[in-house]
Amino acid sequence: MKAILFDRFGGTDVLHEADIEVPQPGPGQIRVRVRAAGLNALDGKIRSGAMQAAFPTPLPAVPGAELAGVVDALGEGVQDVQVGDEVLGWSDTGSYAEYALATTVVPKPAGLDWQHAVALPVAGETAERVLDLLGVTAGETVLMHGAAGAVGTLAVQLATARGARVIATAGPANQDYLTSLGATATLYGEGLVERVRALAPDGVDAVFDLAGKGALEDSIALRGGTGRIVTIADFRAHQLGVTFSSGGQERSAARLAELAQDAATGKLVTTVTAYPLTEAATAQQVSDAGHGRGKLALTVG
Ligand SMILES: NC(=O)c1ccc[n+]([C@@H]2O[C@H](COP(=O)([O-])OP(=O)(O)OC[C@H]3O[C@@H](n4cnc5c(N)ncnc54)[C@H](OP(=O)(O)O)[C@@H]3O)[C@@H](O)[C@H]2O)c1
């Protein structure tokens, strides 16, 4: 099968197309004929070698942690999915490929296309995990740093659906986008504390840092301490006494299925820019540049 892989760490030039063996599903796994793969900022961090200390990646490696596609083969003991089912979920093997293995998938609603389906597993789980960890409830004000990307697009909508007010930061090009999602938009960078205080004179109840671009000190100033601040991207968190949240095994198929239904009916907006699989390096360059709007996806076949 065709796949995108890298056999050394480095820039996007290490990514290349290759013909590799089709993976065989083990017990509890399914094999999916991939129609779209989700691209995550983490894919570029792994490719660069920056994550080797935290998550050692054996080479060669096929990137990609999520997929949407058609079930093609069942491993031993799989009963709730049939060959031919259209699904979306997390991949156990790299999803920048024609076939990948998966364990946790849900049915893809007919009204949701492949590329919008892959906007949901990683970003949806991350957004909800952090909103739960922060304990965001109706009537509260949440500050989100860098909310125009893949996770932020969902986090803004999921927080407003809980009845919270969201103040969210982005660059100049994404201010209107954040407003369209339901947030009060403001710029990141110098003067942030004053801008947020002007927008929320009574203070912010919680802070979700999605960018990891040095906004933790401002967050501590705005909260008057480190309570109810969570980052998913700033590795200085522990040093500053702030909570860092990493993806674990708390994946809820039931909740992913609900998000998929909401995306299919338009209740949850997903914004996707898709590239063909063969242009994975270009897509990762866009991701590495760090100023995306919504989700990046790769279409396969
Ligand atoms: N720990 C976890 O569980 C977990 C899970 C998923 C993702 N992540 C990490 O979380 C981060 C966000 O993920 P993502 O998929 O949403 O990324 P993304 O789609 O690439 O979005 C990144 C966003 O960062 C914004 N940004 C760039 N520079 C900024 C700055 N100086 N201050 C504030 N915002 C800035 C950009 O907005 P503008 O274009 O408007 O500049 C862009 O929308 C990534 O680092 C990713 O690796 C962690």
Q: Are residues 97 and 144 in the same domain?
A: no
Cβ pair 155, 127 in contact under 8 A: yes
Do 101 and 204 lie in one domain? The reply is no
Both tokens assigned to 214: 């040095």
Amino acid 55: pLDDT: 83
Same domain as 130, residue 100: no
Length of the chain (residues): 301
- In angstroms, the CA 189 to CA 203 distance is 19
296 CA: nearest ligand 1 atom? 19
Count of structural domains, the chain: 2
β-strands 30-39, 295-299: how paired? antiparallel
Which residue, judged by its Cα, is nearest atom 36 of ligand 1?
A: 291
Is residue 132 domain-shared with residue 240, that is, in the same domain?
yes
Query: Does some domain include residue 254?
Result: no
Neighbours of 213 (CB within 10 A): 15
Task: Answer yes or no: do 98 and 204 share one domain.
Answer: no
If DSSP codes are grouped into helix, strand and coil, which group holds residue 153?
A: helix
Tell me the CATH number at 101: 3.90.180.10
Q: Between vectors from CA 287 to CA 63 and to CA 21, what angle results, nearest 5°? A: 15
Give residue 41 CA to ligand 1 midpoint distance, Å.
7
Q: Which numbered atom of ligand 1 lies nearest the CA of 130?
A: 3
CATH number, domain with residue 217: 3.40.50.720
Q: Which protein residue has the closest C-alpha to ligand 1 atom 9?
A: 233
| 232 & 143 share domain | yes
Position 258 in a domain:
no
Q: Is 208 in the pocket of ligand 1 (CB under 6 A)?
A: no
Q: At what angle do helices 192-199 and 216-223 cross, to 10 degrees?
A: 40
The CA-based dihedral angle spanning residues 154, 64, 298, 98, taken in that order and rounded to the nearest 10 degrees: -140
The protein residue whose alpha carbon is closest to atom 46 in ligand 1 is 41
CA distance 164 to 282: 37
Contacts 24+ apart (CB under 8 A), 41-50: 41/149, 41/150, 41/233, 41/287, 41/288, 41/290, 43/284, 43/287, 44/12, 44/284, 44/287, 44/288, 47/6, 47/9, 47/10, 47/12, 47/14, 47/15, 47/284, 48/9, 48/10, 48/11, 49/9, 49/10
DSSP 226-281: STTEEESS-TTHHHHT-EE----S---HHHHHHHHHHHHHTSS---EEEEEGGGHH
Q: Could you tell me if residue 66 is inside a domain?
A: yes
146 & 77 share domain = no
Relative to the CA of 291, which ligand 1 atom is closest? 39
Residue 263 within a domain? no
Q: Are 263 and 112 in contact (CB under 8 A)?
A: yes
State the helix-helix crossing angle for 121-134 and 253-265, rounded to 10 degrees.
110
The SS3 of residue 27 is coil
**Domain presence at residue 105:** yes
What's the N-to-C CA distance of the chain in angstroms?
A: 11
Structural domain that includes position 146: 123-244
Q: Which two tokens stand for residue 50?
A: 């920056």
Query: Would you write out the chain's pLDDT as a tens digit for each of its 301 residues?
Result: 999 999 999 999 999 999 999 999 999 999 999 999 999 999 999 999 999 998 899 999 999 999 999 999 999 999 999 999 999 999 999 999 999 999 999 999 999 999 999 999 999 999 999 999 999 999 999 999 999 999 999 999 999 999 999 999 999 999 999 999 999 999 999 999 999 999 999 999 999 999 999 999 999 999 999 999 999 999 999 999 999 999 877 789 999 999 999 999 999 999 999 999 999 999 999 999 999 899 999 999 8
Q: What angle do CA 16, 300, 70 make, to 5 degrees?
A: 135
Exposure on the CB side of residue 8, measured as CA atoms within 13 A: 4
Q: How far is the CA of 281 from the centre of ligand 1 (A)?
A: 19
Structural domain includes residue 47: yes
Pairwise CA distance, residues 53 & 65, whole Å: 19
pLDDT of residue 151: 98
| Domain shared by 109 and 134, yes or no | no
